[in-house]
Structure 1
Amino acid sequence: MEIKLDVLITETKTNIKFSNNQGAITISNADSKEITVEQPTVYFLLKANMIIYIGKTTKNASHDDVDFNKIIMLTPPWEIEIEYLEQLFIDEAMKNEINLVNTAKEEIKIPANQKKIVANYKDEVLLVLENFGYNIQPKLEVKETKAKPAKAQHRWSKEVSRIEFFVSSRESKATAIWHKRNEMLLKAGAKMMPTPPLNKDGSLGFAAKMGEKLRSDYVDKIKDFVTTEDLVLKSVNEVGLFLYFGGTNSWLELIDADGKTIDEWTRVD
């Protein structure tokens, strides 16, 4: 399956548009318990990045009785009925033993001529969400696999802001400093991996596309794949995407002069 997307990421929101007017997804922090939409929408409420509620609305909704801090809103194309799509997402979550709150709803019977269309669209959405870290599909070989640890949390400090970290990975070499809470300073002279890795079918993967987008933002400060000025990026992950198109845990690639990673310096256990 190949899905073309137009993605805009900010510090508080991720906007994802499908090609050919096939809908849009918005992932954002929840500033209130009120949900207001302009088009029919299926939405997911999350707590600690776990989906805890799946619902739908055509105008607005309120969830004072649900403890959530993030929301994913899906606006499907006009031919997809939101009540059918909501039902299939709930079925998927229940099948995978996700504990949803307030799901005592009458099950909707989906007409046979609609089920395949809606199911195909649901699968596309789940694939996109999975690539952004939100997964309600079953994991393979669950019995053989150890439980994944929660995603590591890292904390900036004044102490770490004075440390130079060095990168030597995938044809790239650079020096970076986490000099402000939301800024990574990449020093001039950073050598970048020239060519992005490709998928098996020869196409660019999502990380490679993000890396190329970052590079295009600073094209006037790059010559022969070497930066000519200090650059400011937003995060450790952006440094990895910019230098070597990601593909590895960048928290383990930034290492100080004594061999201590930025992960070791900043991880919150």
Structure 2
Amino acid sequence: MEIKLDVAITPKKTTIKIKPTQSTLTILPVTKANMKLALSELYMLLNDHTIISIGRSEVPDTIEKNAFNKIMHLSVPWDVELDYLEQSLINEAKKCGHDLINTQQAEITIPKNAQKTTTAFKEELLAVLKTFGYSLSPAPEAKNDKPKPAKARHKWTKEVSQIEFTVDTRESKATVFWQKRNEMLLKAGATLMATPPLNKDGSLGFSAKMGQRIREDHVDKIKNNVTTEDIVLKSVNEVGLFLYFGGTNSWLELTDRDGKTINEWTVID
């Protein structure tokens, strides 16, 4: 398989354009600015040349900052679904015996009609990554007796979709249904945390900025920090960012009427 690339290297970044698919890999140092991603991009966190985490839109606050020293942004072709590509790469890492840390996405099944396109792009991407020395395998120097970082995966079911979960934390209150794999239904009348928390230097943190961005997408359905219509969000994490700017494990904040968390309902080993 021949893959043609355009590569540009500067002191601040490396850009790899994959010509056949018009996708782009950008390898960057870890800075606040570089932690911001377009909603159409996938990120890969790098510890030297080992990929330790893959995700979308935002890097979770739960990942220790000293666990990675570079970040890679990946833009993909229009016909490749980010959710499916993310799951495919996570599956590939598992085959290599590597559990990626703090993966936020609930495990999904890639539909048959998307498998061919997703797999073809994944194989091309892995070939490029390998050429530049990046791997989904565990770092060779890692010792087996070291504890693995905590990671939880969650599975949506029809039973869970019928459960009414509530949030009552950090000035926010809401009723939420996990109605589909990638749809969280936030019922009208939810109360939002009014003011985002600030960093010690008075600046907005990454989660606060993400929360503001999500609120801007639904500004026509918010009045005086209360939602006036039902809103559909993409994940439990987005619910937390939207309601109270994140900053805590939202899987533990959504509870049913008996106090059982959505994490307890859906977590899988």
| Partner SS, residue 158 of structure 2 | coil
Deviation track 1:201-260 (CA, whole Å, cap 9, x = no partner) reads 111111111100000000010011110000000011100000011111100000000111
1:74-93 matches, within 5 Å, as none
| Partner SS, residue 38 of structure 2 | strand
| Partner SS, residue 196 of structure 2 | coil
Deviation track 1:41-75 (CA, whole Å, cap 9, x = no partner) reads xxxxx7149599xxxxxxxxxxxxxx98986989x
Residue in 1 aligned with 2:170?
A: 170
Which structure 1 residue ranges, 4+ long, deviate > 2 Å from structure 2?
9-16, 27-33, 48-52, 67-74, 145-149
Greater relative contact order, per chain length (Cα 8 Å cut-off, separation 6+):
2
CA contact (8 A) 2:42 2:73 kept: no
Count of matched residue positions in the alignment of Structure 1 and Structure 2: 181
The answer to whether residue 38 in structure 2 is matched with residue 8 in structure 1 is: yes
Q: Cα distance, 1:200 vs. partner?
A: 1.3
Normalising by structure 1, what TM-score?
A: 0.55
| Partner SS, residue 175 of structure 2 | strand
**Cα 1:198/1:72, change in 2 over 3 Å:** farther
| Partner SS, residue 167 of structure 1 | strand
Deviation track 1:163-214 (CA, whole Å, cap 9, x = no partner) reads 1000011110000000111100000000011111111111111111110000
Q: Distance in 2 between matches of 1:51 and 1:259?
A: 30
Q: Distance in 1 between matches of 2:255 and 2:74?
A: 35
Q: Identical aligned pairs, as a percentage? A: 53
The answer to whether residue 100 in structure 2 is matched with residue 99 in structure 1 is: no
Residue in 1 aligned with 2:66?
A: none
Which amino acid letter does the alignment assign opposite residue 93 of structure 2? K
Residue in 2 aligned with 1:26?
A: 74
CA contact (8 A) 1:184 1:233 kept: yes
1:9-88 matches, within 5 Å, as 9-10=39-40, 14=56, 25-26=73-74, 29=85, 47-48=93-94, 50=98
**Cα 1:266/1:31, change in 2 over 3 Å:** closer
Structure 2: runs of 5+ lacking an equivalent: 1-29, 44-55, 59-70, 76-81, 101-121
Structure 1: runs of 5+ lacking an equivalent: 17-22, 34-45, 53-66, 75-82, 101-137
Q: Cα distance, 1:148 vs. partner?
A: 2.5
Q: Distance in 1 between matches of 2:253 and 2:127?
A: 31
Deviation track 1:141-176 (CA, whole Å, cap 9, x = no partner) reads xx9x96423x11111111111110000111100000
1:136-155 matches, within 5 Å, as 147-149=148-150, 151-155=151-155
CA contact (8 A) 2:42 2:86 kept: no
Residue in 1 aligned with 2:224?
A: 224
Structure with greater Cα Rg: 1
Q: Cα distance, 1:15 vs. partner?
A: 7.4
Q: Distance in 2 between matches of 1:211 and 1:2?
A: 19
RMSD: 4.3
Q: Cα distance, 1:99 vs. partner?
A: 2.2
CA contact (8 A) 1:25 1:73 kept: no
